[in-house]
Amino acid sequence: MSLDVSPSLLEQAQQGPVDDDAFVDCIRTSLPYAWQTITGLIERLHGNGKEFVDNQVPPPDEAARGELLRVLASDAMRGTLERRFGVRLAFQNCHRVAVFPADAEDRPAYREFISARGQLLNQSPALRNC
């Protein structure tokens, strides 16, 4: 299961649209490693003026790796975090999360990061089974 959903949040979902704040809180509490990694990158992006920031440190264990995979593979979770923080998230392998400004879609650094070339250049034997 990806998220620990409270009974009240589940009831809200059963009755209609879900409040973004409640969904973000669910992500934060359910996936603490992914939350810390992504929000830490967002803080770094806003504090340094670079085109993007990324995480190249492997997660400490498989549970943490799974958190990153779940949050970034889910359109709902990823999209909600992007809207909440005004960023664009990108992902390679099992742990290389990158944070770009929200308007990065046409920027060369973003286009390179999400390209097949970028993915291939980010490969190594150590990441083969991550």
- The structure's pTM equals 0.86
Q: How many Cα atoms are found within 13 Å in the side-chain-facing hemisphere of 23?
A: 17
* Residue 50 pLDDT > 90: no
- List the one residue out of 114, 26, 38, 44 whose CA is nearest residue 82: 38
The answer to whether the CB of 33 falls within 8 A of the CB of 67 is: yes
pLDDT for 60-80, tens place per residue? 999 999 999 999 999 999 999
Q: What is the mean pLDDT of the chain?
A: 88
- 3 class by beta-carbon count within 10 Å (0-12 exposed, 13-18 middle, 19+ buried): middle
Strand pairing report for 53-54 and 87-92: unpaired
Q: Please, are residues 99 and 54 in contact by the beta-carbon 8 Å criterion?
A: yes
